[in-house]
């Protein structure tokens, strides 16, 4: 908070530059101060009633006040010189004023309780940050590197991109990279939130701080330690925690008018009763001091930022990176949620769904022929057929006279017989009587159909489709149950888009779109519905992600574009995290409203009781301000324990 904002609160969560909070005393020194000043204050209060010598207990009370309050008094004096009426000024005036009107024990109690409350607030906010800081501690400081055929143990700072690190069973992977040798299960929970280990083979990416469970891996380093995914997560979350939400901005604007009004009211309470009704000036001055302490909007100012930090922390632990408090606040406001298809609602790779054989050829025969020819191809369809054949236990046959015909398919001899695999065009004049009905049915279902045959006839069909993610349909159903419009935007053809939309129960879809056309579609939906959230893979969807009210990128672990463009990044591919985000946003805003309501009720009640003199200065601090502030923080920290719904 800038000095010119006029904000009354100087709590650590509100003003990180406050000299009281940033003094290099250390937590152990603060604990020693609390213990010592508390003992002095208690001894002084006891001595007041047990000794006939006032000087004795007054010295103890004064020592307690100086020990626990010297930093706040110096800060208050510095703020007063700059005409910055923050909490340190109000507490200093209240404490010194209490000594002047003969209530030194209350002045000492004000300073002591304020010091304790600051310590507790600081501890509470540290808890919200701790899970993010612990991420960086997961990555080891050293790495085993192969240099010149010899293994060396070096600090991770000294490892260059392109070098090979050796990761043994039980080790944590030191740097982001790609497996070049070995197979192992890796626990990626700190990065993606996945509960089960993931099998890593040559060519797969691995991330610093993840745990190698069982096998030996050799990893080619692709990023320096300062550029690793775990470092980027920590940096982006810290940035998010520093950005204010709309609610916080409103409270800041409100405080600029609130501050001078409170000071004027306190002055009126001090001056008018003696002038108009002849009341003692000391009593009016004391009640004005109480009002200044009660009126400080410390708890109100804390109600939003600590809640937002807790929400961002909770999301990060679940594998969701939120890049600003305002996005957490507004994600539940969506009237429409727009999805990309490939890589978002679907797995992004084709899977074999149907195999049909004719003319005496069964499914195994058709798969065996296709797998033999496709083994010479690197196309995604070839990979899908080979995976399916392997799952069926079909042995791969030798191929001779292999030829790849671009745009049509493959041909070659399997078992001495010439076969063809591809689309219609690779066959001269295929007889459509037997297979045409199945072919049309598969295409109507949005599937890609591969024909398998000899030179003169079709022997079978293989249908493939981009598999819908298991959690996509429940997520769509949840959104629709909330009255949220669900829309799919895809560059895929209309038939495939229609089949996917029908399977998922989407409200509408638009197919064959270029990236700029997706932006136009998002703009139309925003004009119709207001707040629109876009969920995409973060690459070809980047313009639409940037244009939407909130952009959510899927698969952030593999996409720099996703991390750079989107407002929220899902570190794995679970579309169900969208539901978790909405529920987390709603819970966070509910806690904010609870805290704001509690702050207003308590402050108003104490202010009303201060006028007739029912509230003392130490009560105003212990309950009406610092106690309330800590209650607000404790309530906010509950958000950090929010977990994804069991239904996900």
428/194 Cα distance (integer angstroms): 50
Largest Cα–Cα distance of the chain, in whole Å?
119
485-489/508-510 β-pairing: parallel
Residue 625 three-state SS = helix
Q: What backbone torsions phi and psi does residue 225 show, to the nearest 5 degrees?
A: -60, -35
Q: Please choose, from the candidates 521, 503, 512, the residue with its C-alpha nearest in 3D space to the C-alpha of residue 345.
A: 503
From residue 303, give the alpha-carbon distance in Å to each of 323, 566, 632, 648.
20, 27, 6, 30
CB 308 within 8 A of CB 329: yes
CB atoms near residue 426 (< 10 Å): 17
Which DSSP category does 249 fall into?
H
Number of helices and strands (H, E) in the chain? 23, 22
Residues in the chain: 648
438/445 Cα distance (integer angstroms): 11
Q: Which of 340, 492, 541, 625 is catalytic?
A: 340
At which residue do the structure tokens 């701790």 appear? 130
To the query of whether residue 340 is one of the catalytic residues in this protein, the response is yes
Q: Please choose, from the candidates 640, 639, 641, 631, the residue with its C-alpha nearest in 3D space to the C-alpha of residue 302.
A: 631
Gyration radius of the chain over CA positions: 34
255/80 Cα distance (integer angstroms): 18
Residue 618 three-state SS = helix
Which DSSP category does 423 fall into?
S
CB 316 within 8 A of CB 26: no
Q: How close are the terminal C-alpha atoms of the chain, in Å? A: 39
Classify each residue of 297-327 as buried b or exposed e, where b means 16 or more C-beta atoms within 10 Å of its C-beta: bbbbbbbbbbbbbbbbbbbbbbbbbbbbbbb
SS3 helix, strand, coil % of the chain, rounded to 5? Answer: 55, 20, 25
Give alpha helix (H) positions in 296-395: 298-303, 305-317, 325-330, 363-374, 380-391
What are the catalytic residues? Answer: 340
């Amino acid at each position: 908070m800038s000095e010119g904002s006029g904000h009354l609160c100087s709590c650590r969560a509100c003003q990180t530059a406050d000299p009281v909070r940033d003094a290099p005393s250390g937590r152990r020194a603060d604990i020693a101060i609390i213990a010592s000043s508390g003992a002095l204050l208690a001894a002084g209060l006891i001595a007041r009633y047990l000794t006939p010598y006032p000087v004795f207990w007054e010295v103890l009370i004064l020592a307690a006040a100086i020990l626990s309050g010297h930093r706040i008094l110096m800060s208050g004096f510095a703020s007063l010189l700059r005409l910055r009426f923050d909490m340190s000024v109000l507490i200093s005036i209240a404490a010194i004023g209490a000594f002047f009107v003969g209530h030194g024990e209350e002045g000492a109690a004000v300073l002591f309780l304020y010091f304790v409350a600051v310590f507790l607030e600081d501890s509470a906010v540290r808890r919200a940050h701790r899970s993010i800081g612990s991420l960086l501690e997961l990555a080891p400081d050293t790495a085993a590197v192969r240099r010149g055929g010899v293994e060396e143990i070096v600090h991770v700072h000294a490892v260059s991109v392109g070098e090979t690190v050796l990761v043994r069973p039980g080790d944590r992977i030191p740097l982001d990279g790609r497996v070049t040798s070995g197979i192992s299960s890796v626990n990626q929970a700190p990065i993606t939130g996945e509960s089960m280990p993931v099998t890593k083979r040559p060519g797969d990416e691995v991330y610093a701080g993840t745990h190698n469970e069982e096998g030996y891996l050799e990893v080619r380093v692709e990023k320096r330690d300062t550029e690793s995914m775990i470092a980027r997560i920590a940096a982006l979350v810290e940035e998010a925690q520093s950005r204010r939400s709309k609610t916080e901005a409103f409270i800041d604007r409100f405080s600029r008018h609130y501050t001078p009004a409170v000071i004027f009211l306190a002055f009126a309470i001090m001056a008018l009763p003696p002038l108009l009704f002849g009341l003692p000036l000391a009593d009016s001055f004391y009640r004005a001091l109480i009002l200044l302490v009660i009126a400080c909007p410390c708890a109100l100012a804390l109600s939003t930022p600590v809640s937002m930090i807790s929400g961002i922390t909770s999301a990060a632990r679940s594998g969701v990176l939120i890049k600003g408090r305002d996005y957490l606040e507004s994600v539940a406001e969506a009237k429409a949620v727009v999805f990309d298809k490939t890589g978002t609602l679907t797995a992004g790779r084709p899977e074999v769904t149907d195999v049909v054989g004719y003319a005496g050829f069964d499914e195994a025969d058709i798969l065996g022929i296709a797998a033999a020819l496709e083994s010479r191809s690197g196309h995604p369809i070839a990979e899908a057929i080979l995976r399916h054949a392997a799952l069926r236990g079909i042995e791969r046959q030798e191929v001779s006279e292999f030829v790849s015909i671009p745009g049509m398919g493959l041909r070659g001899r399997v078992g001495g017989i010439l076969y063809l695999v591809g689309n219609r065009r690779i066959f001269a004049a295929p007889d459509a009587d037997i297979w045409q009905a199945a072919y049309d049915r598969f295409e109507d279902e949005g599937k890609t159909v591969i024909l398998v045959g000899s030179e003169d006839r079709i022997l079978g069909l293989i249908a493939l489709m981009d598999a819908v993610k298991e959690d996509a349909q429940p997520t769509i159903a949840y959104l629709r149950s909330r009255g949220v419009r669900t829309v799919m935007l895809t560059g895929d053809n209309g038939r495939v888009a229609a089949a996917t939309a029908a399977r998922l129960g989407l409200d509408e879809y638009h197919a064959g779109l270029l990236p700029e056309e997706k932006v136009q579609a998002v703009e139309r939906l925003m004009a119709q519905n207001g707040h629109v959230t876009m969920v995409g893979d973060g690459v070809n969807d980047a313009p639409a992600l940037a244009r939407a009210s909130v952009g959510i990128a899927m698969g952030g672990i593999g996409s720099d574009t996703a991390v750079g463009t989107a407002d929220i990044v899902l570190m794995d591919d679970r579309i169900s995290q969208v539901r978790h985000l909405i529920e987390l946003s709603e819970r966070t805003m509910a806690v904010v409203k609870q805290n704001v309501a509690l702050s207003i009720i308590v402050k108003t009640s104490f202010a009303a009781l201060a006028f007739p003199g029912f509230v003392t200065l130490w009560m105003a601090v212990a309950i009406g301000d610092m106690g309330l502030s800590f209650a607000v923080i404790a309530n906010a920290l509950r958000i950090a324990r929010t977990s994804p719904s069991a239904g996900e």
